[in-house]
């Protein structure tokens, strides 16, 4: 890589980090931690970069498509983790409440008795945020299909949860 290209890359990276840091300070409470139910059942973290862009991470038990069958099955739950970049579009915004709809994309990694698959996850959802109350909470519901070769080409996941911001 040439010296000018390397300098441009460093300057661009420094500018992006400074921009993200300034946007993060603009949020009243940018870091949320909570629980998620559905696919997966476990813990969730969300970081807001600005009022419209956030990043979501979740990890927990994955019961997989077998759990949606009407017959009992003897497979133990697996483990799933995913991380996504989310874009939010505000639908309702008042002094005490925000209700954006969001769409995102990111990888979903599943483990069941060893590594199982990496799939693309594309959540679409709605959340209710109370950012300026004494107890800043977020409730969310999402439809999050995952796409990939195994075990099904299309796996419709649903999830709901709650996060506390600090």
> Could you give the domains of the chain?
3-165 (2.40.160.20)
- The answer to whether 30 and 47 are in contact (CB under 8 A) is yes
User: What pLDDT score was predicted for residue 146?
Assistant: 87
Q: Give, in degrees to the nearest 5, the angle at Cα 59 between 41 and 101.
A: 80
pTM of the model: 0.74
3-state secondary structure of 5: helix
Cα(86)–Cα(65) distance, integer angstroms: 25
pLDDT digits (tens, 9 = 90+) for 71-111: 555 566 788 899 999 999 999 888 778 899 999 999 998 88
* Mean pLDDT, the chain, whole residue set: 80
Cα–Cα distance, 135 to 166 (Å, whole number): 9
pLDDT band with cut points at 50, 70 and 90 for residue 128? very high
Q: Is the predicted pLDDT of residue 21 greater than 50, yes or no?
A: no
| DSSP SS3 for 65 | helix
Q: How far is CA 82 from CA 64, 66, 102, 104, 118, in A?
A: 14, 20, 16, 12, 10
Q: Contact at 8 Å (CB) between 95 and 113?
A: no
Query: How far are the Cα atoms of 32, 79, 95, 124, 153 from residue 117, in angstroms, in the given order?
Result: 28, 11, 43, 22, 12
Asked if residue 7 has pLDDT above 90, the reply is no
């Amino acid at each position: 890589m040439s010296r000018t290209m390397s300098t441009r890359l460093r300057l661009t990276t420094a500018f992006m980090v400074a921009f993200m840091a300034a946007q993060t300070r603009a949020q009243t409470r940018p870091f949320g931690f909570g629980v998620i139910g559905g696919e997966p059942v476990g813990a969730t973290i969300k970081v807001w970069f600005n009022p419209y862009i956030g990043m979501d991470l979740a990890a927990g038990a994955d019961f997989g498509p077998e759990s949606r069958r009407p017959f009992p099955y003897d497979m133990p739950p697996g483990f799933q983790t995913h991380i996504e970049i989310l874009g939010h579009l505000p639908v309702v915004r008042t002094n005490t409440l925000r209700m954006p709809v969001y769409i995102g994309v990111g990888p979903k990694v599943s483990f069941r008795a060893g590594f199982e698959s990496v799939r693309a996850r594309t959540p679409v959802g709605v959340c209710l945020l109370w950012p300026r109350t004494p107890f800043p909470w977020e409730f969310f519901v999402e439809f999050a299909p995952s796409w990939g070769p195994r075990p099904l080409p299309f796996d419709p996941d649903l999830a709901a949860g709650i996060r506390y911001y600090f």
